[in-house]
Amino acid sequence: MLYFIVLYFLLIILFSLIKFKEIKSPTLNLFKSMFPSWKFFDESNDTPVLLYREADDWKICFSPPKLRWWHFFYNPAGNFYLAYHSHLQQVLGELTVASVEEATHFQDNLSYKMLEHFVRSKSPQSDFQFKISSIKKAPNGFAIIEDILISPKLKVEIV
């Protein structure tokens, strides 16, 4: 059993050191959300977050969950938060390598639509807008350092 655990960690280290080509296939691109992005270990920057607003004030879409001792064994909220943060890293990576034409049509991208879905899952009751920003902690909440991506105002979908 110990052999498999050591092998598992060695494979993680090996695959994190290998540089892979960028995937250009739209079909394979759909599977990116199923695998975590390890790019957040490359460098330390300000924290990117997804913010949304319905009226005037920007709110953080998903805050880190509070940790309890049993979360070491069962932590669905923590897993969701890691997937969400991994997706933010993926979007930032896609924006970084996007050409000018791709950046102007980024709203048609699957990653953008997933961000929109994250915000809609917070059940906005009116028209809303979202953005990805770098933030830092401030005495009264948070301070926005830089806006990276800002959506247009979006309408609520009536089902």
What are the tens digits of pLDDT across the range 110-127?
888 888 888 888 866 778
Residue 34 has pLDDT above 70, yes or no: no
Residue 140 has pLDDT above 80, yes or no: no
Residues in the chain, total:
159
Domain ranges, ordered by start, for the chain: 26-150
Give the whole-angstrom CA distance, residue 120 versus residue 130: 10
What is the arithmetic mean of pLDDT over 37-66?
Answer: 75
pLDDT band at 137; cut points 50, 70, 90: confident
Whole-prediction pTM value? 0.64
pLDDT for position 40: 55
